[in-house]
């Protein structure tokens, strides 16, 4: 016998949605995180890719994931000589999209608020362009300039 009010067959586990990483892409087509990754060593790029896979599999429960501000999260990644911070947000109806917004070297305390602000702007831009009708509105706005 199931629990009253639950819309799921008895004995069946709730459906789990597979998380996947997406790189923020600007309206001009730039992908700042991917561009950054193209400039690091192969070893560091592999470490970052491995950490992203672990976060994909475990979510915010990963030991190196920390909450930064509002909807912005970070994962700290050990490179060969540098520690990286990848700023991301969870998106989608079931938080299945991990949107990579910004990546920086750990030595960033003096610029921390600036990088968080960049991540927030990128998240807002990504959401605005993802709304139904947003592409039409953006095309009109670009035409009027």
* Rounded CA separation 2/11 (Å): 8
Q: What is the mean pLDDT of residues 96-110?
A: 82
User: Does position 36 have pLDDT exceeding 90, yes or no?
Assistant: yes
Domain for residue 5, yes or no? no
Neighbouring C-beta atoms of residue 42, cutoff 10 Å: 8
Over the stretch 86-102, which tens digit does the pLDDT of each residue have? Answer: 999 988 887 788 899 99
How much of the chain, in percent, has pLDDT values that exceed 90?
Answer: 46
Looking at the domain assignment, is residue 6 inside a domain?
no
In a domain, 118, yes or no: yes
Asked, for residue 121, whether it belongs to a domain, the answer is yes
140 within a domain of the structure (yes/no):
yes
Based on the structure, what is the number of domains in the chain?
Answer: 1
Residue 43 has pLDDT above 80, yes or no: yes
- Classify each residue of 104-143 as buried b or exposed e, where b means 16 or more C-beta atoms within 10 Å of its C-beta: beeeeeeeeeebbebbbebbeebeeeeeeeeeeeeeeeee
pLDDT at 73 > cutoff 80: yes
The answer as to whether 78 is a domain residue is yes
What's the predicted TM-score (pTM) here? 0.76
**Amino acid 64: pLDDT:** 86
The answer as to whether 4 is a domain residue is no
Tell me which residue range forms the domain holding 75: 20-144
Q: How confident is the model at residue 63 (pLDDT cuts 50, 70, 90)?
A: confident
């Amino acid at each position: 016998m199931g629990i009253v009010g639950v819309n799921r067959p008895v004995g069946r586990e709730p459906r789990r949605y597979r998380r996947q990483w997406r790189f923020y892409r600007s309206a001009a087509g730039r992908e700042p995180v991917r561009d950054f990754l193209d400039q690091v060593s192969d070893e560091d790029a592999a470490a970052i890719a491995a950490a992203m896979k672990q976060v994909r599999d475990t979510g915010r429960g990963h030991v190196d994931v920390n909450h930064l501000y509002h909807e912005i999260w970070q994962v700290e990644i050990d490179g060969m000589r540098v520690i990286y911070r990848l700023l991301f947000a969870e998106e989608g109806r079931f938080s299945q999209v991990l949107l990579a917004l910004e990546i920086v070297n750990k030595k960033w305390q003096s610029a921390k608020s600036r990088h968080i602000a960049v991540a927030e702007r990128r998240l807002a831009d990504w959401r605005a362009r993802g709304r139904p009708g947003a592409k039409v509105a953006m095309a009109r706005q670009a035409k009027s300039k």
